[in-house]
Chain A
Amino acid sequence: MKILLVEDDKEIAGHVSHALTSAGHDVDSADDGFEGLSRASSGDYAALILDRMLPRLDGLSLMKQLRADGVKTPILLLTTMAGIDDRVEGLEAGADDYLVKPFAFAELLARVNALGRRSEINGRAAATKLIAADLEMDLIARTVHRAGHAVELQAQEFRLLEYLMRNAGRAVTRAMLLEHVWNLHFDPRTNIVETHMSRLRTKLDRNGAKDLIHTIRGTGYIFRAD
């Protein structure tokens, strides 16, 4: 995946670039807002990683300019841990996802992958059914079948499975699940994710031949059909 990283902190830029390259991505870097804007406008990138505080042109203005120019490349906005309002502001200015510094590289990679997937989905008609191996999810009727048997899921378990299936084949982190399934933007002290995940797995595996949800140590979870 071809990624543009706009970050003025040389050390962070170096680490991020290295981590993304090691994960098999192709990374271009820019270290100020104007350069970032011109590269993002001309280059054909699958995703942008953008620091909020940039010299010459800040991240929010850069994003607004890009969106105004009709550039739809998914954007991951990076910010210091300043504030709760920053997320809303960032998303309103056109960011697709938001990550607070400092972050784990696993978290960054998972989110970049999810962004790339989003750009693949873009333009495709919205699916009414998600199918993977012997698992079938009907998004309209809100039912789930495993090898032909109905699986009774609670609303939260359904949302959890839906998010995993939509990101099939890609790692999702605990924080991503908390944000997308429960709309929580803080780290709870109890193991909400683990508890619900374990219940979902138990219900799914009752009729299935093999596990579909796998734990990735230090990162999170992955849904794999093969």
Chain B
Amino acid sequence: MRIRFIHTEGFRIAAIFVAIFALAAAALAASVLVIVQREFRDQIVQFANADIAAVKNGYRTEGEAEAREVIEQRMTAEGASDFILLQRDGKRLAGNLKAMPPRTGIFTVPGIRRRHRILGVATYIAPGLYIFSGSDLYPARLAREHIVQFLIWIFAGAVLLAVLGGVFVSRNLLRRTDAIARACRAIMNGNMKTRVPVRGTEDELDRLAQTINAMLDRIAALMENVRQVTNDIAHDLRTPVSHLRHRLEHARLQLSAPADYDKALESAIATSDEILALFAALLRIAQIEGGARRAGFALVELTDLLHQLRDMFGPVADDSGHVLTLTLAQPAAIRGDRELLVQLFSNLIENAIVHTPAGTRIEIGLRVDKDFAIVSVSDDGPGVPEEEHEKLFQPLYRREASRSQPGHGLGLALVNAITDLHSGRIVLRKTVQPGLCVEVAFPLGGDVQAPQAIEVGNL
């Protein structure tokens, strides 16, 4: 556990950098060495050539004695080689080296001291008169060793720094990822309120932490929603089931006339139907949200469908004193499930009929805005306060005013589910006068001709 940082991304990256640095340093060191070596060699050869030229010149002008004289001088002169040798037929004439086998060109010979080597130039300055001039390579070797040593120190220092940096960076990263992991574990253990700490540095880990926190907030909201719905269902079910029980108990204990029994049983059946309707609606919503129906999508002519709904609900609205009108700005078709779309619009129209007083005008509208077909159901009834708009679509939410009316509060949740299935969007629009306008926008279906640009309000 103590060397866990070795297995971190930060450490891996540091190691890769060390390797790259090592390669670069090695290349640099190699070129420095080559350049230094060449420089030494060039200088040695240059000194040797100068010696040879001076000796040759002396011999030409004044003969062998002068040549020996020049050599004696050269051995102490500035800019001359360390070693020089003049020999004739294998016998030394002058210089500080022993006689050696005559070999011309640039080469090295063993030095006087151990491990020293002499690089030099050898030639004949006259037939039989052989000269060698060279310098000790030892300083060059020393320089090379110094350079190498120096580079090794630098390299070792750099590696050490890189390793320490890697350890530091990875422990730092590890601390922060550990914090994220700790938060996640706490949440797994049921503490949903835990959040990943954010440093406020806006770096990539901070952004990751913020994203995780946002996700957790969303999950928490959804869980809260589910919890709420479960509570509501339990509550909504308990009421009719206890009514049912009371009625049956009452029938058994208090009633004796067959007609009374009939009435009690009929009301008990009605109550159980209510409970079953709640279950059916919940299952239907769950099934629609499952999305399997999408496979059967086909092109649905909204114009045609809305006419059908108008014909269906027109007389119903008439009887309850409402006025139902249909305004079609232009034809539109969408891809969808006709049966579900009928249910969606039926729900909206029935809401308008059931929840507004007689005399209310209800208008079904269809228009096209860019790539969307927008179906609206609006009324000039008393409307719904804006702060309640969002709640309207929550499952089982029922407005105070409508609690006394039959219904299970799932109508708009179903509308929502069907709209989502069709990739649509619902907007409750504020109307200037009192009233409510529900707009549902769907992406237009493929086979409809492109709609002309039209003047529309913001969706």
21 residue pairs of the A-B complex, CB under 8 angstroms, read A81-B276, A81-B280, A83-B287, A84-B287, A84-B293, A84-B339, A88-B296, A100-B280, A102-B276, A156-B312, A182-B312, A184-B342, A184-B346, A187-B277, A188-B346, A189-B406, A190-B350, A191-B319, A192-B313, A192-B316, A199-B315
Please, what's the 1-or-0 string for A55-83, where 1 marks a CB less than 8 Å from any CB in chain B? 00000000000000000000000000111
Asked whether any CB of chain B lies closer than 8 Å to the CB of A195, the reply is: yes
Near A by CB (< 8 A), chain B positions 386-412 give 406-407, 411
- Count residues of A near B (Cβ-Cβ below 8 Å): 27
Collect the chain B residues with CB atoms within 8 Å of residue A190's CB. 313, 316, 320, 350, 353-354
In the assembly, what is the distance between CA of A188 and CA of B345, in Å? 11
For the complex of A and B, the 3 pairs showing the least CB-CB separation, nearest first, are A195-B316, A190-B316, A195-B315
Could you list which residues of chain A lie within 8 angstroms of chain B, going by C-beta atoms?
81-85, 88, 100, 102, 104, 154-156, 182-192, 195-196, 199, 218
Seed contacts A156-B312, A188-B350, A191-B316; 18 additional CB < 8 Å A-B pairs: A81-B279, A81-B280, A84-B284, A84-B340, A85-B292, A85-B296, A100-B280, A154-B311, A156-B311, A182-B312, A184-B342, A184-B346, A188-B346, A189-B407, A190-B350, A192-B313, A192-B316, A195-B319
- The complex places the Cα of A180 from the Cα of B444 at a distance, in Å, of 29
Contact count band on B: 20 to 34
Asked if A186 and B343 make an inter-chain contact with CB atoms under 8 angstroms apart, the answer reads yes
Q: Is the CB of B354 within 8 A of A189?
A: yes
Q: Given the complex, which residues of B lie within 8 Å of A85, measured CB to CB?
A: 287, 292-293, 296
A185 to B342 alpha-carbon distance, docked (Å): 10
Q: Chain B at the A interface: mostly helix, strand, loop or mixed?
A: helix
B53 at the interface (CB under 8 A from A): no
Q: Which of B279, B293, B296, B315 lies in contact with A196, CB distance below 8 A? A: B315
Partner of A189, one of B266, B276, B288, B350: B350
B226 within 8 A of A: no
Q: Which of A82, A185, A218 interacts with B339 by CB under 8 Å?
A: A185
User: Is B283 an interface position by the 8 A CB rule?
Assistant: yes
- Write the chain B residue with the least CB distance to A104: B269
**Closest A residue, CB atoms, query B340:** A84
Q: Which residues of A contact B406 (CB under 8 A)?
A: 189
A81 to B320, CA, bound (A): 32
CB distance from A109 to the nearest CB of B (A): 16
A102 and B275 CA atoms in complex are apart in Å by 12
